Amino acid sequence: MSKAAKRYGSVIKLNADKVAEYKALHASVWPAVLARLEKSNVRNYTIYYCAQLGLLFSHFEYIGEDFDGDMSAVGEDPVTKDWWKVCEPCQSPLNWEGPPPSEGGKGDWWQPMEEVFHDGHPASGYQ
Amino acid sequence: MSKAAKRYGSVIKLNADKVAEYKALHASVWPAVLARLEKSNVRNYTIYYCAQLGLLFSHFEYIGEDFDGDMSAVGEDPVTKDWWKVCEPCQSPLNWEGPPPSEGGKGDWWQPMEEVFHDGHPASGYQ
């Protein structure tokens, strides 16, 4: 890896009646979905859940050179679209209008956050 | 690094009147605070801020063998205690009673979150 990855953090609500379903889905994410993310240069993608606040928080690192292109490739992938169709009903985005991403809606389904601190020790490579 | 790091995610409220102060503090964290974290085997420590929700989210990776011991060493470090003294008034923990950590209070000042997903591509080393 020639340079440090760029980090992305984002947040979305997890619907209270979908917690078990969401956890089960994410305990065995479809291999083609993971493969598409890897091909799109996403690494160390982690999702945390805060039960008290009903929120999901994600962190990932991007090691490519064309973020918009790589993310478009994710969004255009038919298996990923099917994956989103089962995940979207579990979530309530903070700011969204219109059809969800699986139906072609554009925007930040997951709300981006601002990085206010990093310790200066980013990953230098990934498994 | 012989094995993958363990990831930790947590959340805390950032007081609305302290956003600028917190950001300024974290744009230039005291070197001794960073050094203590590094010595305590913390890596890739990232803090994100969601203005809409007034929340801070943190992600870090732990590469050591004695998490409790390493975290105690952080909490007993005099410079880190002074650092916490300036940071604590900026924050409102989700669940806390009694004196703050800088005054010896024990517990989760930052509320731990549950990891519900990882992509299988953790860091294999750090800068």
ipTM over 0.90: yes
Q: Are B75 and B85 in contact (CB under 8 A)?
A: no
Q: Are A49 and A56 in contact (CB under 8 A)?
A: yes
Q: Which segments in chain A show pLDDT lower than 50?
A: none
Residue pLDDT, tens place only, B21-58: 999 999 999 999 999 999 999 999 999 999 999 999 99
- B122 to chain A: nearest residue by CA? A44
Closest CA to A77 of A26, A49, A40, A45: A40
Q: Is B98 on the interface with A (CB under 8 A)?
A: no
Q: Which residues pair with B41 in a beta bridge?
A: none
- Residues 48-87, chain B, touching A (beta carbon < 8 A): 48-53, 55-57, 59-60
Q: Which residues of A touch B27 (CB under 8 A)?
A: 116-117
Q: How far apart are CA A109 and CA A100, in angstroms?
A: 8
Shortest Cα distance, chain B CAs vs residue A110, angstroms: 12
Residue pLDDT, tens place only, A53-69: 999 999 999 999 999 99
What pLDDT is stored for residue A77 in this prediction?
Answer: 97
Angle formed at CA A56 by CA B59 and CA B66, multiple of 5 degrees: 30
Q: Does residue B30 sit in helix, strand or coil?
A: coil
pTM to 2 decimals?
0.96
Cβ contact B44–A115 (<8 Å): no
Q: Which segments in chain B show pLDDT lower than 70?
A: 1-3
Q: Are A45 and A37 in contact (CB under 8 A)?
A: yes
Picking from A43, A55, A59, the nearest residue to B46 by CB comes out as A59
Structure tokens at B49: 């801020």
How many beta-carbon pairs below 8 A join chains A and B?
166
What pLDDT is stored for residue A4 in this prediction?
Answer: 75
Shortest Cα distance, chain A CAs vs residue B112, angstroms: 8
CATH of region A6-113: 3.30.70.100
Cβ contact A117–B47 (<8 Å): yes
Domain ranges of chain A: 6-113
Cβ contact B46–A127 (<8 Å): no
